[in-house]
Structure 1
Amino acid sequence: MAYETDFLIIGSGIAGLSLALKVADLGRVTIITKKAPKEAATTLAQGGIACVLGEDDSFELHIADTLRAGDGLCKEEVVSLVVRQAPERIRELMDLGVRFSEDPERPGHLHLGLEGGHSRRRIVHAQDFTGREIESVLLNRAQDHPQITILENHMAVDLITGCKVAIRRQCEDLGERCLGAYVLDGQSGQVKTFLSRVTILSTGGAGKVYLYTSNPDVATGDGIAMAYRAGARVANLEFVQFHPTCLYHPLAKNFLISEALRGEGARLLDPEGRPFMHKYDPNLKDLATRDVVARAIDQELKKSGRDFVYLDISHRESEFIKRRFPNIYQTCLRFGIDITREPIPVVPAAHYMCGGVVTDTWGRTDIFGLFAIGECAYTGLHGANRLASNSLLEGLVFAHQAARWIHQNWGEYGALDLPPVPDWDPGGAVDMEEAVLISHNWDAIRRLMWNYVGIVRNKKRLELASRRLKPILEEIEQHYWDYIITADFIELRNIAHLADLIIRSARWRRESRGAHYNMDWPHKDDANFRRDTILCRSP
């Protein structure tokens, strides 16, 4: 039995929820989410949204900062589009009920934070839990909308298209159009067929490909992997941004220490308590871009043999710290760290995928009827390295762009019939009796990527990573046919495919640029590599 809907949105973060609210007047919207809807990367976002609102700021300055961070690979027309839409998108969120922090010294004005790579204060925020505030408001609006259905514990397995890989053991030619997705119901274990006139990937990033990450557990690169398997182009997957400052504590999991602390004067210190960022960026120092700071910390750790460096904001007034960073203050306090009195132990961790599924400025992919928005998409905004607090903004802007295009073309889309599609066929697959088959490969891939394809890379490590991943990929593909799939196996398959794509992209780029640093080619090579790394599955 097939479930039909006008819009199938895969993912429940800021991009997916924003789009759902903007197209619900056209037809039925079904949102599927792997766990609870709030378990998205949006919820964990602390910093805020970059937006030109200050009297000393301008669109041109924000554009210049974004281009500088992107290290030569940003698409200038996309950067301009996103930056110039920011004030309108902020107003929309406020109209929906999002409460951003006001400037205590200027009543009626939003408080603007400063983060690394920005030349002006322009970060609109809700204290230090901006994402949680936005996610809560959007989710409440979506849950109250009569045209929107949210299905928890539902995980997309593969897109339904003309590609044979999307249909197990069947070869019907469905044409070059996305018709929806096969979806695993986590409660029943049944794989259901969801048919849709428009399918939107808003699945977030792929931080769980790495052993240490700031991302939630759901960030396994599902949208990018599915789109690639279906025949869509993916780009620039070698540019994995590592956030410089995650809390280092044996009981802390994925807790980010916002870049906004450094914007308010926090300093990075080596294990002996000495500042060190002046050695890596004499001008910006602690406010350098994320790629520079992450490599600097990595270098300091290698020199000292220690597991962490310190981030110290204790020189600021105690009440200011508690008021500006209540979430970080309370969380660190639970782990025995009083940030008003002592420095915070921090380490870098995989944070953001700058590449993704190739789209145009309307969010459209290569496949008719398939859109990608948010972190899983490659729009050209971030280039080789994302500027802080441009990510939530990108999700908002491209949800708006996709909604505009869909509204303008709904006469064509809405009239399309949904042809019959074969139900999921497990063939002779049986239950997997030993979960260790999944857990062993899951751990092996993530350690392999952290050790060989991490902050600093070289030719030998990348070659070793490729060779060691190959038999794991072959084993996973065999298990895909032999065993009845589970949510854990779907995620394993996706992180394996993402790891392979990241390694292939990193091996091709024989230079160092942005978030990709190769010791064997430590300099930029504009003549040969000032272009995107495009990968597409062969038919």
Structure 2
Amino acid sequence: MLKTDILIIGSGIAGLTSAVKLAKRFPDHTITILTKANTDETNTKYAQGGIAVVNDLEHDSFGKHIEDTLIAGDGLCNREVVEIVVKEGPARVNEIIDWGTNFDKDKEGDYMRGKEGGHSEFRILHYKDVTGLEIERALVAEAKKYPNIQIHNHWFVVDIITQHHLGYLVTKATPDITCYGVYALNLTNNKIEKILSRVTLMSTGGAGQAYRTTTNPKIATGDGIAMAYRAKGRIENMEFIQFHPTALYEAGVSPSFLITEAVRGDGGILRNKNGEAFMPSYDPRADLAPRDVVARAIDSEMKRTGTEHVYLDCRAMDHEKFQAHFPNIYAKCMSVGINVFEQMIPVAPAAHYCCGGIKVDEMGRSSILNMYACGECSSTGLHGANRLASNSLLEAIVFAHRCAENMAERLDFVQFNDDVPDWNASGTTDPKEMILITQSLKEVQLVMSDYVGIVRNDIRLHRAMRRIDLLHEEMEELYKTATLSPQLCELRNLITIGYLVVKGAQFRKESRGLHFNTDYPNKSELLQQIVL
């Protein structure tokens, strides 16, 4: 058994930022970070474009950023939260700069700012085309300065511990569901261990692996959201899965290599197989329309022309500037035989970001007492029905700060619960055939991609739910009898994610933001959050 004052699950920008802030404030308290892979293997690491922040009030304003976010969110943003994130953002960005994060500057020493879809001004701070990697590097280095931060790699968290594990009946109507810690599989000895905590932060990232084609790394299996749902926590807006419009098209390759939106911000043009620039016919903002609009337009062009991709034309862009700003993209394209200055880049949409998740308040508190959520696994109200480009990293650091502040206020009033039993694995055996797990995983991804993608309808959603129900039934039978493994746990979580996305999509009888249902092509006047 392990006891820790503060337990943080996930080592991306959200988890590490909170950890550093709490470590500074409470040098005598233990802070434990659990990650199922290596410390830096996170969704943060793969963020290319940058972080949207208003730090040039001469040419930009908080009001413009707020309005851009509200427009992208298509009526479902929480305006109070949008204002919090936009206005508190500059101070939080300055903190990670103080911790060693580098952003590109011009010859005069001013920050270079990019522009992406949905933004009215140039406000995206970036480090070439590997901004997330640079932020992750700086935060890992900063976290290692504090001896009271202990990072445990290769620990897979299985479940949140609540009153349920003490023998009490817990339902969604239970008013005081409380988190006492987690059960986690230590992958070094394959034992499930009990970890007790006073407060717990869920910062487990997204769920892109629920789809066959995604820009997310293999670890993005929706673990935190699924665990919170099983613990009867509130989950909302899961129907809003953002597909990044421009992932490099390579047949059969997953994860897909991301071609950041900043390329279009710098002048890249989307063209169909006939070489036509098609975006102006879909939206007056053309190639800089919000992601939901661009992804649907590409999907429409692919279906209309019978192709599996469209093209991103960078041939007219400044060669020197492109190589300086997008060296990683340039190198990747060259490695697969594409000279971006002579050939167009084949691109297609790929699952990219989960705009819903664990429902939290303005301080990052979930509906489960002593459990917080931050980053992509949370639903703060910032993104609404569609996330504005490069707002995710900003949201993560603002809410990481707010979570840390509220944890600090509560920490000394929360005691460990020593009555939690050890994990009971009696009666389980190693699964006889791994194909039972691997095949079910493929089925989940196929069902989600074919029936619950960019464009949906009631028949597809009904079929998807029937198949996910069957997969869930088969998986639960296996889960009760098999020795736990990361593969089995990830399958369990992804089936839960699939269920949540489909159920949310079935409840939303309209088309809004990232959810487009051909049976309900118009928006409803009654705006609502779908809480499960």
Q: Confirm or deny a common fold (TM above 0.5).
A: yes
Q: Distance in 2 between matches of 1:22 and 1:449?
A: 38
What is aligned with 1:444? Answer: 443
Match of 1:53 in 2: 55
**Letter aligned with residue 497 of structure 2:** L
Pick from 91, 100, 103 the counterpart of residue 103 of structure 2.
Answer: 100
> 1:228 Cα deviation (Å)?
0.7
**Matched letter for residue 348 of structure 1:** P
**1:82 matched residue in structure 2:** 85
Shift of 1:185: 1.0
Give the match's secondary structure for 1:526: coil
Which position in structure 2 is the counterpart of 1:200? 201
Kept in 2, the 8 Å contact 1:321–1:340? The answer is no
Contact 2:180 / 2:416 at 8 angstroms: preserved in 1?
no
What does residue range 238-317 of structure 1 map to in structure 2 within 5 Å? 238-250=239-251, 253-281=255-283, 283-317=284-318
How big is the shift at 1:173?
A: 7.4
Q: Distance between the aligned counterparts of 1:440 and 1:312, measured in 2?
A: 38
Distance 1:150 1:428 in 2: 32
Partners in 2 of 1:12 and 1:97 — Cα distance? 17
- Is 1:33–2:35 an aligned residue pair? yes
Q: Which runs of 4+ in 1 moved over 4 A?
A: 172-175
- Residue 534 of structure 1: SS of its match in structure 2? coil
The amino acid across from 1:125 in the alignment is: H
| In 2: Cα distance, 1:31 partner to 1:461 partner | 40
| Letter matched to residue 533 of structure 1 | I
Partner of 1:218: 219
User: How far off is 1:109 after superposition?
Assistant: 1.2
Residue identity in the other structure for 2:528: R
Q: Is contact 1:49-1:390 (8 Å) kept?
A: yes
Which string of whole-angstrom CA distances, capped at 9 and with x for unpartnered residues, describes residues 255-283 of structure 1?
100000000010000012110001110x2
Q: Greater CA deviation, 422-431 or 249-258? A: 249-258
- Whichever residue aligns with residue 431 of structure 1, its letter is D
1:64 to 45, 63, 67: 67
Q: In the alignment, is residue 124 of structure 1 matched against residue 121 of structure 2?
A: no
Question: Structure 2 CA distance, aligned partners of 1:317 and 1:433?
Answer: 57
Q: Does 1:171 align with 2:167?
A: yes
SS at match of 1:349: strand
Tell me the secondary structure at the aligned position of residue 117 of structure 1: coil
Identity of aligned residues (%): 47
Letter in 1 for 2:80: E
User: Structure 1's 171 and 409: CA in aligned 2 closer, same or farther, altered over 3 A?
Assistant: closer
Tell me if structure 1 keeps the 8 A contact 2:199–2:411: no
For residues 229 and 147 of structure 1, the distance between their equivalents in structure 2, rounded to whole angstroms, comes to 31
Cα deviation per residue 1:479-504 (whole Å; 9 max; x = unaligned)? 11111110000000000011011111
1:289 Cα deviation after fit: 0.4
Give 3-state SS (helix, strand or coil) of 1:144's partner: coil
The answer to whether the Cα contact below 8 Å between 1:453 and 1:461 also exists between their aligned partners in 2 is yes
Question: Secondary structure, in 3 states, of the residue corresponding to 1:422?
Answer: coil
Distance 1:33 1:410 in 2: 22
- CA distance in 2 between partners of 1:128 and 1:176 (Å): 42
**Paired residues of 2:197 and 2:416 also in contact (CA < 8 A):** no
Q: Distance in 1 between matches of 2:127 and 2:100?
A: 12
Q: TM-score, normalised by structure 1?
A: 0.95
- Residue 341 of structure 1: how far off its partner (Å): 2.2
Counterpart of 1:328 in 2: which secondary structure?
Answer: helix
CA distance in 2: counterparts of 1:40 and 1:402, whole angstroms: 20
- Distance in 2 (alpha carbons) for counterparts of 1:390 and 1:308: 27
CA distance in 2, matches of 1:252, 1:209: 12
Give 1:176 deviation, angstroms.
2.9
1:80-479 to 2 correspondence within 5 Å?
80-104=83-107, 107-163=108-164, 167=165, 171=167, 176-250=177-251, 253-281=255-283, 283-413=284-414, 416-479=415-478
8 Å Cα contact 1:249-1:335 kept in structure 2: no
Give yes or no for contact 2:163–2:169 (8 Å, CA) kept in 1.
yes
Aligned to 2:479: 480
TM-score (normalizing by structure 2) = 0.96
Give the whole-Å Cα distance in 2 for the aligned partners of 1:340 and 1:97.
Answer: 34
How far has the Cα of 1:56 moved from its partner?
A: 1.6
- Which residue of structure 2 aligns with residue 511 of structure 1? 510
Partner of 2:530: 533
SS at match of 2:523: coil
**Following the alignment from structure 1 to structure 2, what is the Cα–Cα distance between the partners of residues 253 and 389?**
20
CA contact (8 A) 2:213 2:255 kept: no
Does the CA contact (< 8 Å) of 2:214 and 2:254 recur in 1? no
1:252 Cα shift? 6.8
Aligned equivalents of 1:408, 1:479: Cα separation in 2: 42
* Distance (Å, rounded) in 2 between the aligned partners of 1:466 and 1:408: 43
Shift of 1:172: 5.5
Deviation at residue 521 of structure 1 after TM alignment: 0.4
SS in 1 for 2:390: coil
- 1:269-305 CA distance string (max 9 Å, x none): 0012110001110x20000000000000001111111
Aligned to 2:173: none
Contact 1:103 / 1:112 at 8 angstroms: preserved in 2? no
Counterpart amino acid of 1:201? M
**How big is the shift at 1:29?**
0.7
Q: Is the 8 A contact 1:430 1:483 kept in 2?
A: yes
Where structure 1 has 5 or more consecutive residues not aligned to the other structure, the ranges are none
Amino acid at match of 1:56: H
- 2:144 aligns to what SS in structure 1? helix
What's the C-alpha RMSD, in Å, of the aligned pairs? 1.3
**Would you say the 8 A contact 2:54–2:61 is kept in 1?**
yes
Of 70-79 and 32-41, deviating more is 32-41
Give the distance between the partners of 1:500 and 1:408, measured in 2 at CA: 36
Q: Deviations over 1:170-227 (max 9, x none)?
A: 7257973201100011121111111000111000011100111010111111000000
- For the residues of structure 1 that align with 2:431 and 2:255, how far apart are their CA atoms? 29
User: What letter is aligned with 1:229?
Assistant: R
Confirm or deny: 8 A CA contact 1:512 1:524 kept in the other structure.
Answer: yes
CA-to-aligned-CA distance 1:306-333 (integer Å, 9 cap, x gap): 1110001110121111011111111111
What do the CA deviations read for 1:124-148 (whole angstroms, capped 9, x no partner)? 1111110000000101121232011
